[in-house]
Amino acid sequence: MTFLLAVATGALYAGGFYLMMRRSLFKMIMGVVLMGHAANLLIFTLGGLVRGLPPYIAEGQKHLGEHFADPLPQALILTAIVIGFGVNAFGVVLIRRVHESVKTGDLDEMIETDSPEELLK
């Protein structure tokens, strides 16, 4: 299972970077979304995948047993998902407004902020 998730994480990172390298505004946002998923899945996998073990100290014991489910990575991912959701929602609205204003979805044509004023006229 760990192997499968590792491959999935790698694929998500690769897909995210690939989409961001494309020229399309929409694919760029999709790339950002995929990268966020990749980071979350990475943390999930790194937290250790154990099955059927409790995340608490057994009755009568003072310490955790040798094997236990670590709840912390899941708490981290939950936080990251919430943040990522907000950021992605903002990103989608932003590209809509950009598209309305610039009238193109081609990132290579968005050169206004990088060019001297004379070149644009």
Residues that bind other proteins (CB under 8 A): 16, 20, 25, 28, 32, 35-36, 38-40, 42-43, 46-48, 72-73, 76, 79-80, 83, 86-87, 90-91, 94-95, 97-98, 101-102, 107, 110, 112-114, 116-118
Residues 6+ apart with CB under 8 A from 39: 80
For other proteins, which is the closer residue by CB, 69 or 110? 110
Q: CB 48 → other proteins: shortest distance, Å? A: 8
Neighbour tally for 45: CB within 10 Å = 18
Nearest-angstrom CA–CA distance, 102 and 84? 26
Handedness of CA 57, 59, 63, 66 (dihedral sign): negative
Residue 94 CA from chain centroid, whole number: 18
Q: CB 106 → other proteins: shortest distance, Å? A: 12
For other proteins, which is the closer residue by CB, 59 or 114? 114
